[in-house]
């Protein structure tokens, strides 16, 4: 399964990987978790920031392409590797005054990550993942995913010509499964939960010599996710939001964004790091429980419409909670009803249609304003992490049916009059 | 319904609108079709190209944003109107050597217009349409659509705060309907064909004073569509494709792209115009019939999986056929099976998942290579006009089901072994 005909130079500025639990630092290479601490020992990629500071500046960025590879010094990717052709990152940031006024906040931006190639935030991670597989000599890559990481990995694997095996839990929505079948992935629908799919994928990677793309445990994937934080710092440098609001599943997304923002502060692009508001669904609140209690994470059952964040055992909870606390941030939960309501308001007042997990941040912002965690005089940026077309069944719960009528003006006039009187 | 509190200055370089049939030129204003020729009298927006040439140059473009408003001199939009905040256009052009080799052509690019805000090419037109409604003092806009123009209009209307009424035919796929309900449009599902929906929308606009966004007849909408042609000229200026391949429904898309390419030649950005290959589904081939016979268009029944181009009465056939002939191009049909096959190959070798009409151009390229309309030594750019998530039911016909298995290594090993022996 491995393809070792080319040796890539190691990424220029990576100095090693450090365990979040025991603090051991490992030299750069194909490692997943800390050998001493096991699956809990998530590793954090370390960089030589003093050296990076000489090369990554507002001036050098001027001439670079507008995708997430523009921050190449901050990515664990060899300089001589061919990048996927799909355009990943540099998702638009929209100033949305009508949504701001609807929610009751002074200033609001949406960063629409549903605009990525396979329509979710996860393309940031998968685009790094497929390069790591190639760099380390694998011809096959695998992941377990509630859906978006799966379709993202399938799309990016197709783009670079890797074979992909995807383990999905039983509840993954059909559009996401179809999307990855179209991309040519081998799809294994595991009769069980996300955790069952996750464990089986991990065992299979070890047994069959596949590269494991699971972003919960793979130290490099979260580096791809952090590019959203790097972009926010660059795109909003002149008017940095007080809060960045992010939906939370595994913890990698908010943890990555926090890391990216911290790095941009360290490199002098921004003077402060916005406070992070992490939002979970009430039916999948393991991370919020740990954040509030200050104890280690206790896995929970999950029950929420927001399948992309329906994670009972968030693997990257130390990173996520660490970043939120470092930013003086907060965590909060929202109900499925609030998520569906946010889906409508984000679309109707912001022009952006997000899937349930994609608009969970917007629902969280509303709740945070109601509970006075965020003041109406502050500003916020919410990240929409996935396109609404990903999960039409849930969207249907948020809206009614169309009005059906015969093709006559009489019928139309009757419909419009009855709407006025109702 | 009308909102006349602001008078906008007319677009700077528009000199009038000229009828495709009788050649009459009308001065700039809120007209739809030629008063002399009726609904058949489609109007073409005319510009002062000599003046534009002074302002729209490679040098002036350098400092402009990468969206389709960068060609503002070539758009019928007042200078003092606020543009929608959604990022429209400047969709990526991908060099896809693996798809090229699969199809047997020397060089191939994909331009992925599924990357637009509501995931289809139609956002180019709708973004202009909502501005025309605002400019002409309307607070309500309407359209009839097989789906993408609808969701696009709903999204852009939400973005700028216009009320939208959408007439859809009975066969419009559910994801597209749900998408526009989420955006807050009033959706009228007409018990009949696209033509019934089209006629009822037109009558309703006249009766209730709504702005009619139907791109088949509205002269300004196609100007939005032509930006894809403007972009191709700019993005591919250094290595212009021999062919640009486009799926054809109403005729506005290929007609617009042709106009855009001609304009860029006239302005000196490119030295020649690529040949246009227009591709229809076998089950909706009215335009191909007229192209081949040289006679006026005869409406046909439609029956194809590619709902976005299932148009029996293409309104803009004169523009489309005129542009194709001017480019020394061709027209061709493909079967639904070829469309589904192209959906898989475009995703698996190009990394882009398109809806049926979205990949019809790729299917047409394959057929054109087989029938020697295009030679293997030429180059081509295919436009993917809509995201595959728009029509999952069709995509499901292209692929099988996932492999379902219990969460055990024994089950997985058995599945993999049986796949190897099969």
Answer yes or no: is pLDDT of B5 > 70: no
- CB-closest option in B155, B353, B404 to A182: B353
Q: Which residue has the higher pLDDT, A422 or A70?
A: A70
CB-side neighbour CA atoms (13 Å) of B224: 29
The reply to whether A107 and A137 lie within a common domain is no
Residue B146: per-residue pLDDT? 65
pLDDT at A5: 65
Task: Report pLDDT digits (tens) over A18-56.
Answer: 999 999 999 999 988 999 999 899 999 999 999 999 999
For an interface test with A, give the residue of B189, B347, B395, B415 to mutate (most A CBs within 10 A).
B347
Percent residues over pLDDT 90 in chain B: 85
pLDDT recorded at residue B92: 98
Encoded tokens for B247: 């799926």
Residue B42 belongs to a domain with what CATH number? 3.40.50.1100
**B153 in a structural domain:** yes
Whether B292 and B271 share a structural domain: yes
Residues B239 and B135 grouped into a single domain: no
- Could you tell me the pLDDT band of residue B2, with boundaries at 50, 70 and 90? very low
**Contact residues, chain B, for A94 at CB < 8 Å:** 85-87
Asked whether A86 and A115 are in contact (CB, 8 A), the reply is no
Q: Do B402 and A189 touch (CB under 8 A)?
A: yes
Residue % of chain A over a pLDDT of 90? 85
Query: Does B150 map to a domain?
Result: yes
User: Of A364, A259, A357, which is closest to residue A310 (Cα–Cα)?
Assistant: A357
The residue with tokens 């002269």 is: B219
Torsion, Cα of A66, A72, A73, A76 (10° steps): 150
Among B161, B179, B212, the domain boundary falls at B212
* CA Rg value for chain A: 21
- Dist. CA B220–CA B239, nearest whole Å: 30
Q: Are strands A330-334 and A140-144 parallel, antiparallel or unpaired?
A: unpaired
Verify that B245 and B334 share a domain, yes or no: yes
Contact B392 A175 (CB under 8 A): yes
Tell me whether residues A415 and B188 touch, CB distance under 8 A.
yes
Give B217 or B234, the one with higher predicted confidence: B234
Residues 6+ apart with CB under 8 A from B145: B122, B153, B166, B167, B168, B172, B197
Q: Do A183 and B404 touch (CB under 8 A)?
A: no
* Mean pLDDT, range A306-328, rounded to an integer: 94
pLDDT, position A88: 98
Q: Is the pLDDT of residue A4 over 80?
A: no
Q: Which of A177, A184, A401 sits opposite B402 (nearest CB)?
A: A177
**B100 and B247 assigned to the same domain:** yes
* Res. A421: pLDDT tops 80: no
Average pLDDT over residues A272-300: 97
Please tell me what DSSP assigns to residue B33.
B
Q: Within this chain, do residues A70 and A103 fall inside the same structural domain, yes or no?
A: no
Is residue B405, in this structure, part of any structural domain at all?
no
Interface test with B, best of A187, A348, A422 (most B CBs within 10 A): A348
Q: Is the per-residue pLDDT at B98 higher than 70? A: yes
Q: Indicate the pLDDT class of residue A204, thresholds 50, 70 and 90.
A: very high
Three-state DSSP state, A365: helix
Whether B410 maps to a domain, the answer reads no
When CB atoms are compared, the residue of B179, B402, B412 closest to A388 is B179
Which pLDDT band holds residue A146 (cuts at 50, 70, 90)? low
Location of structure tokens 């089986």: A200
Let me know if residue B325 belongs to a domain.
Answer: yes
Does A99 contact chain B (CB < 8 Å)? no
Same domain? B23 vs B166: yes
pLDDT in tens, A207-224: 999 999 987 889 999 999
A413: in domain:
no
* pLDDT tier, A3 (very low <50, low <70, confident <90, very high otherwise): very low
Q: Is B82 on the interface with A (CB under 8 A)?
A: no
What are B282-324's pLDDT values in tens digits? 999 999 999 999 999 999 999 999 988 988 889 899 999 999 9
**Confidence at residue A307, expressed as pLDDT on a 0 to 100 scale:** 85
Confidence of residue A176 (pLDDT cuts 50, 70, 90): confident
What is the distance between the alpha carbons of residues B141 and B166, in angstroms, rounded to a whole number? 9
Q: What is the mean pLDDT of residues B273-282?
A: 98
CB-count burial class (<10 Å; 0-12, 13-18, 19+) for B131 = buried
Q: Does A292 share its domain with A383?
A: yes
Distance CA B135, CA B29 (A): 10
Of B340, B382, B280, the closest CA to residue A178 belongs to: B340
Are the beta carbons of A339 and A306 closer than 8 angstroms?
yes
Average pLDDT of span B351-379: 97
Would you say residue A2 has pLDDT above 70? no
A374 phi and psi angles, rounded to 5 deg: -115, 135
Distance from C-alpha of A389 to C-alpha of B171, rounded to nearest angstrom? 18
Overall average pLDDT of the B235-261 stretch: 97
- Number of CB atoms found within 10 A of residue B240's CB: 18
Show Cβ contacts of residue B379 under 8 Å, excluding neighbours closer than 6 positions.
B105, B106, B107, B108, B109, B239, B241, B242, B243
Helix (H, G, I), strand (E, B) or coil at A108: strand
Nearest neighbour of A158 by CB, restricted to B95, B200, B347: B347
Please give the pLDDT value at position A1. 39
Summarised one tens digit per residue, pLDDT across range B188-208 is: 999 998 789 989 999 999 999
A275 in the same domain as A142: no
Q: What is the mean pLDDT of residues A143-163?
A: 92
Q: Do A242 and A204 share a domain, yes or no? A: no
d(CA B166, CA A249) in angstroms, rounded, equals 37
Q: Residue-wise over B40-53: b if at least 16 C-beta within 10 A, else e?
A: bbbbbbbbeeeebe
Gap from A101 CA to chain B (nearest CA, Å): 13
Q: Using the beta-carbon criterion (under 8 Å), do A399 and B192 form an inter-chain contact? A: no
Are B402 and A188 within 8 A, CB to CB? Answer: yes
Q: Which of residues 315-374 of B touch A (CB under 8 A)?
A: 343-344, 347-353
pLDDT in the model for residue B300: 94
| Window 224-263 of A, Cβ < 8 Å to B | none
Residue A174 and residue B408: Cβ atoms within 8 Å?
A: no
Specify the number of domains making up chain B.
2
Task: Please check the confidence at residue B70 and state whether its pLDDT lies above 50.
Answer: yes
What is the complex's ipTM, to 2 decimals?
Answer: 0.94
**Domain boundary residue among B178, B212, B246?**
B212
**Band (B382; pLDDT cuts 50, 70, 90):** very high
B333 occurs within a structural domain: yes
Contact check, Cβ <8 Å, A181/B402:
yes
The model's pLDDT over B322-349, given as tens digits with 9 standing for 90+, comes to 999 999 999 999 999 999 999 999 999 9
Q: How many CB atoms lie within 10 A of CB A357?
A: 34
Check whether residue B44 and residue B134 sit in a common domain: yes
Average pLDDT estimate for A233-237:
97
Do the Cβ atoms of A407 and B196 come within 8 Å? yes
- Average pLDDT of the residues of chain B: 94
Segments forming the whole domain that contains residue A97: 93-119+221-398
B1 in reach of chain A (CB within 8 A): no
**Residue B204 to residue A158, Cβ atoms within 8 A:** no
Query: A212, A242, A271: which is the final residue of a domain?
Result: A212
- pLDDT digits 0-9 by tens, B76-94: 999 999 999 999 999 999 9
A160 & A53 share domain: yes
Query: Residue A305: which region, alpha, beta or left (left: phi > 0; alpha: psi -120 to 50)?
Result: alpha
Domain presence at residue B419: no
**How large a percentage of chain A has pLDDT more than 70?**
98
């Amino acid at each position: 399964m491995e393809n070792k005909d080319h040796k890539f130079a190691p990424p220029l500025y990576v100095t090693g990987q450090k365990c979040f639990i025991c603090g051991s630092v490992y030299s750069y290479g194909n490692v997943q978790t800390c050998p001493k601490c096991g699956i809990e020992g998530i590793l954090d990629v370390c960089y030589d920031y003093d050296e990076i500071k000489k090369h990554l500046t507002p001036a050098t960025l001027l001439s670079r392409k507008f995708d997430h590879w523009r921050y190449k010094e901050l990515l664990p990717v060899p300089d001589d590797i061919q990048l996927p052709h799909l355009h990943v990152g540099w998702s638009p940031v929209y100033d949305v005054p009508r949504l701001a006024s609807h929610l009751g906040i002074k200033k609001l931006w949406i960063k629409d990550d549903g605009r990525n190639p396979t329509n979710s935030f996860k393309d940031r991670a998968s685009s790094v993942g497929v390069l790591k597989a190639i760099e380390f000599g694998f011809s096959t890559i695998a992941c377990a995913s509630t859906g978006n990481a799966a379709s993202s990995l399938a799309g990016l694997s197709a783009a670079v010509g890797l074979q992909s095996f995807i383990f999905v839990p039983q509840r993954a929505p059909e559009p996401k499964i179809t999307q990855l079948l179209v991309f040519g992935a081998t799809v294994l629908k595991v009769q069980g939960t996300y955790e069952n799919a996750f464990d089986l994928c991990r065992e299979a990677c070890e047994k069959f010599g596949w590269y494991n793309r699971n972003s919960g445990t793979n130290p490099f994937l979260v580096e791809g996710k952090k590019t959203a934080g790097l972009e926010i710092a660059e795109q909003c440098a002149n008017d940095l939001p007080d809060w960045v609001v992010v939906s939370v599943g595994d913890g990698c997304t908010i943890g990555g964004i926090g890391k990216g923002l911290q790095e941009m502060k360290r490199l002098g692009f921004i003077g402060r790091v916005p406070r992070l508001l992490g939002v979970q669904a009430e039916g999948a609140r393991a991370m919020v429980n740990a954040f509030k209690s200050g104890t280690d994470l206790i896995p929970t059952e999950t029950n929420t419409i927001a399948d992309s964040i329906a994670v009972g055992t968030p693997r990257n909870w130390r990173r996520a909670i660490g970043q939120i606390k470092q930013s003086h941030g907060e965590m909060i939960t929202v109900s499925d009803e609030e998520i569906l309501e946010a889906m409508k308001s984000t679309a109707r007042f912001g022009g952006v249609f997000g899937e349930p997990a994609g608009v969970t941040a917007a629902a969280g912002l509303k709740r945070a304003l109601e509970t006075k965690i965020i003041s109406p005089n502050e500003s916020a940026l919410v990240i929409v992490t996935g396109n609404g077309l990903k999960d039409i069944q849930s969207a249907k719960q948020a809206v009614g049916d169309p009005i059906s009528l015969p093709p006559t003006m009489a019928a139309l006039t009757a419909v419009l009059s009855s709407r006025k009187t109702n």
